[in-house]
Structure 1
Amino acid sequence: MTGILGENSIISETMMIPKPICEYCGKGFKSKGNNERKYCEHNCYTRDQFWWKEDVAEVSKKIIEFKKVNRLAK
C-alpha cells in the first residue's frame, strides 16, 4: 500500500482518515460511504432526536438528585 509520504512510508492513506464519532453515544464508527453520518446506528439517532419514556424518567431522577444531565433530546 502506498502511503501519503511515499511508497515505503508508515503512514498509509487508511490510517489518515479519522473515524466519525456518534453524536449520541460517543463511540467511533465506520462511515459506509456517507461522510455526513452523525450517528453509529438508527437507535442512537432516534434516542437523540426524540424523547422516550425512559429518558424522561432518567432526566427527572437526575434533576431531583441534583446530578448532571448528560444528554437531552433536541
Structure 2
Amino acid sequence: MKNREISIDIFSVLNSAGWLLTIANIAGITQLSWLAILNYWLALFGIALTMGISYSIIGLLVHKGGNNSAQ
C-alpha cells in the first residue's frame, strides 16, 4: 500500500471559513457584527499581501544569487 501525502492549503481553508461566516450572517444563522466579518477579511487580505510581497522579494534574491553562483 502506497503512502499518500495530504497537503492542506491553509489560506484556502481560511478563505472558505470567511465565506461561510459571510453567508451564515446573511442567512441569519450567526449573530456576528458585520464589523467583525470585515475585520476578518481585512486580516486575511493583510496576510495574503504580506505573503505575496515576501515571496516576491525571496524570489528576486534567489534569482540574483543563482546567476552569480553559475560563474
Q: Considering the TM-score relative to the shorter chain, is it more than 0.5?
A: no
* TM-score, normalising length: structure 2: 0.26
Higher helix share: 2
Which structure is richer in relative contact order (CA contacts within 8 A, separation 6 or more)? Answer: 2
